[in-house]
Amino acid sequence: MKLKVYRYHEGMKEPRYDTFKLKSDPSITVLGALFQFQQEFDDSIAFHYSCRGAVCGTCAMLINKVPRLACRTQVASLIQGELKIPLSEFPAIEETVKWNPEEEILVEPLPNFPVIRDLIVDTTSFFNYYKFVEPVFKPADKTPEKERLMDPSAIPELELYTNCILCGACFGSCPIDGKNPDYWGPAALAKLYRFHIDPREKKGTDRLELANIPEGWWACEFYGNCRRVCPKGVPPLIAIAKAREQLNDINEKKEEEP
């Protein structure tokens, strides 16, 4: 088994790929393989990591042309072809380099983000879109003494979106983000929807209106890659579809009124 890794740092004319033979350990993850690479082959490689347990969202990268968390992706499963995820194509995930998926793992930085060094990308614009959605709870009422009551049946839908770990895999898999750098992207819109459906928030359409612009709800073309790559099963597509439906309803009502 080999690891084929994208290498780039400032000053290089173009990126190169380094290939490293892994010590055979069937249970190793891609993150574990990167540590092997760092410790035994070249300690100048740069990649982000933190929890190694698929909860913090730090180590999202492009593995065998699919955005995934390196920490939860098993090398053996990749080699055996078990982790194939069919994605709608866009230039960044097309064949850019020769690699043999039967014996190599191809590791590259997340697409749609500027590369800073090796596997590390610049997340500034990603977090700017996060900022645009005003991601802070805006309560409907004055602060009560005890907890606000919440119907437990409202929670499952809310959880779908609070589960987002902001890893950026969805952003990196989105054909629209690839061609329209102004599109807010799936993660930010899912976050916006999370606040919109929180029953404790002020009722109304303020949240929806915030992204009622061409770069917001309306830029999505429903390729569905975001949902397919999300390590937490968050469905930005559903949020976007529902938001549009609700905005259309509002518009229809407005038109009906004289």
Partner 1 sequence: MGGVNVIVTKSLNHDDAKEKSGSIPQATIHSHEVIIIGGGLTGLRAAIQIADAGLNGAIISKVHPLRSHSVAAQGGMNASLGNVPGEDGKNDSWEMHAYDTVKGSDYLADQDAVELMCREATSTVIELEHMGTVWSRLENGKIAQRPFGGAGFPRTCYAADRTGHNALNTLYEQLFDRDIPVYEEFFVTSLVQDRGRCNGCTAIDIKTGNVHGFVSKAVLMATGGFGRIFSRSTNALINTGDGHALALNACVPLKDMEFVQFHPTTLYGTNILMSEGARGEGGILLNSNGERFMEHYAPNSLDLAPRDVVARSIETEIREGRGFDGGYVNLDLTHLGADRIMERLPGIRQIAMDFAGVDPIDDPVPVQPGQHYSMGGIDVDINGATILLGLYAAGECACISVHGANRLGGNSLLETVVYGRLVADKIIEDNPIHLEQDIEPIKLAIIDIEDKIGDIMDRKDNGNFFRVKNAITDIMFNKFGIFRDSDGMDEGLVEIKNLQEQFSKLSPINKEKPFNQSLIQFLEVEGMLKLAEIIALSAIERKESRGSHTRIDHPERDDVNFLKHTVSILNGEEVDITYKPVILGMFEPKERVY
Nearer to partner 1, 86 or 137 (CB): 137
User: Minimum CB separation from partner 1 for residue 79, in Å?
Assistant: 15
Q: Which of the 8 DSSP states describes residue 18?
A: E
* Alpha-carbon gap, residue 194 to 178, rounded angstroms: 24
Residue 167 or 220: which CB sits closer to partner 1?
A: 167
| Cβ atoms < 10 Å from Cβ of 57 | 20
3-state percent breakdown (helix, strand, coil) of the chain, nearest 5? 40, 15, 50
The three-state secondary structure class of 13 is coil
Cα–Cα distance, 185 to 242 (Å, whole number): 16
Residue 69, beta-bridge partner list: 60
Nearer to partner 1, 150 or 249 (CB): 150
Q: How far is the CB of 232 from partner 1 (least distance, A)?
A: 8
175 or 231: CB nearest partner 1 = 231
| Nearest distance, CB of residue 44 and partner 1, angstroms | 4
Positions that interact with partner 1 (CB under 8 A): 9-10, 27, 38-40, 42-58, 72, 116-118, 120, 123, 130-131, 134-137, 139, 143-144, 146-152, 155, 158-159, 162-163, 165-166, 198, 200
Task: Assign 135 to helix, strand or coil.
Answer: coil
CB of 196 to partner 1, least distance (A): 13
Residue 162 CB, nearest approach to partner 1 (Å): 5
Q: How far is the CB of 251 from partner 1 (least distance, A)?
A: 29
Cβ proximity to partner 1: between 144 and 258 the closer is 144
> Burial code of 204-221, b = ≥16 C-beta within 10 A, e = fewer?
eeebbebbbeebbbebbe
- Among candidate residues 96, 124, 126, the one with its CA nearest the CA of residue 8: 96
Between 29 and 225, CB nearer to partner 1: 29
Sheet holding 104-108, edge to edge: 16-21, 2-7, 104-108, 60-63, 66-69
Residue 145 φ then ψ, to 5°: -70, -45
Min dist CB 96 to partner 1, Å, is 23
Q: Which is nearer to partner 1, 147 or 257 (CB)?
A: 147
